[in-house]
Amino acid sequence: MLFHSSIRKELARSFGATLVVLVTVVMTMTLIRTLGEAGRGTFNPADVMLIMGYTVLSDMPTILSLSLFIAVVSVLTRMFKDSEMVIWFGSGRGLASLIKPLFRFSWPILLVIVALAFFILPWAFGRIEDMRDRYEKRSDIARIQPGQFQESASGDRVFFVEKDASGKQAGSNVFIATNEQGKETVTSARSGKVEVIGADKFLVLENGQRLEKTVGKPDLTVSVFNSYGVRVGADDQSTRTYVPTSSMTTLDLIKAPIPRHLAEIAWRAGLTLAAINFIVIGLAAAGANPRVGRSANMGFAFMAFVVYFNLLVLGKSWIENGQVHFAVYLLAVHGGALMLGLLWLAKRHNNWIVRPPRKPDTATPARTTSP
């Protein structure tokens, strides 16, 4: 049908434009946040772009749902404003008959949201956790940054190098403070370099001094050296032991239906169910009011999305803490939202008018007087 084809084309244009804007905004915010985390030592600065890409990919179900919701509301509101809906209504079709063209346009987007929520999202979170874990387990040499005090992976050493020779694994004005086996040592040297002796790596210091003190004793040993080697730890190649629920596959979550896993399943399922409900709610909310313009409908769309999204976040916490049952939450939130949207749509489709009950007339009858 020509009308169905035109509305799908307009929805595609509006959806694409909204998606580009939202992705740009999310990428900018994610980049700023990731740079801050990299500056605090959470991630490797070289992995900032990868972390940002994985983070934006994990946010895509939410971005797609919001883009679809805004596209439905904005397109239908414009059609009401330009009196195009009058032609549709004049042909004997009601508002509810638009459900078919809307879902014919939306079903590929809904399939992408399902794939992202149940398969891509845990994979993206897993890659982020792997990069974070690998950066935390890097060797002591990799931790050294010129001009910064850095702690070793075991937490018993502090390194400082004033400046280094790029690519030569050598530096000047080296400072090392250790606390091992009840002994505190402070070692300083004019220069140092990394050498491989056998299967181990050593930091060879030159022209320096070493202060050693036993904890609980007043004795202090001072020694001067021309060359001194300190063994440094290698990269920890062990696999990641901590597996958050966000990085677990959906099949693994289903195999162990504990509250924490059910909460994650409810979150992933909620991303898809919310997108479906947004189509129905957007159709029911579309309209034109000359007194307020299109801004009212767009404001409602953003407010409805924020409320719905917060309910998803709260529901995940409630299920994880055992405050709400998994099935009860899905039926109450998503089923309730769908029923409200359908009732609202039925009211507008059938032009139902809800009037408050009229109060009975209690006026006192006029009194007549006899002559």
Strand-pair partners of 229: 204
User: With b meaning 16 or more CB within 10 Å and e meaning fewer, what string describes 295-334?
Assistant: eebeeebeebbeebbebbeebbebbbeeebebeebbeebb
253 or 194: which leads in pLDDT: 253
pLDDT tops 50 at residue 371: no
Cα–Cα–Cα angle for 367, 368, 371, rounded to 5 degrees = 150
Mean pLDDT of 293-298: 68
Q: Classify residue 225 by burial, with Cβ atoms within 10 Å: 0-12, 13-18, 19+.
A: middle
Q: How many helices (H) and strands (E) does the chain have?
A: 11, 6
Which residues contact residue 36 at a Cβ distance below 8 angstroms, ignoring those fewer than 6 apart? none
Q: Is the dihedral of CA 101, 103, 107, 109 positive or negative?
A: positive
Place of tokens 């020694």: 223
| pLDDT at residue 333 is higher than 80 | yes
| Chain centre distance of CA 322 | 23
Nearest-CA neighbor of 75 among 290, 297, 272, 349? 297
Q: How would residue 283 be classed by pLDDT, with cut points 50, 70 and 90?
A: confident
Distance CA 319, CA 237 (A): 36
- Tell me the pLDDT tens digit for each residue of 158-200: 777 776 655 556 777 777 788 777 788 888 888 877 776 666 6
**Which residues, listed in sequence order, are joined to residue 222 by a DSSP beta bridge?**
211
Q: In this predicted structure, which of 31-35, 55-59, 87-91, 216-220 has the lowest mean pLDDT? A: 87-91
pTM of the model: 0.75
**Over pLDDT 70: what percentage of the chain?**
76
Task: List CB contacts of 190: < 8 A, sequence separation 6 or more.
Answer: 172, 173, 174, 206, 207, 208
3-class secondary-structure state, position 257: coil
Q: What is the DSSP string of 176-194?
A: EEEEETTEEEEEEEEEEEE
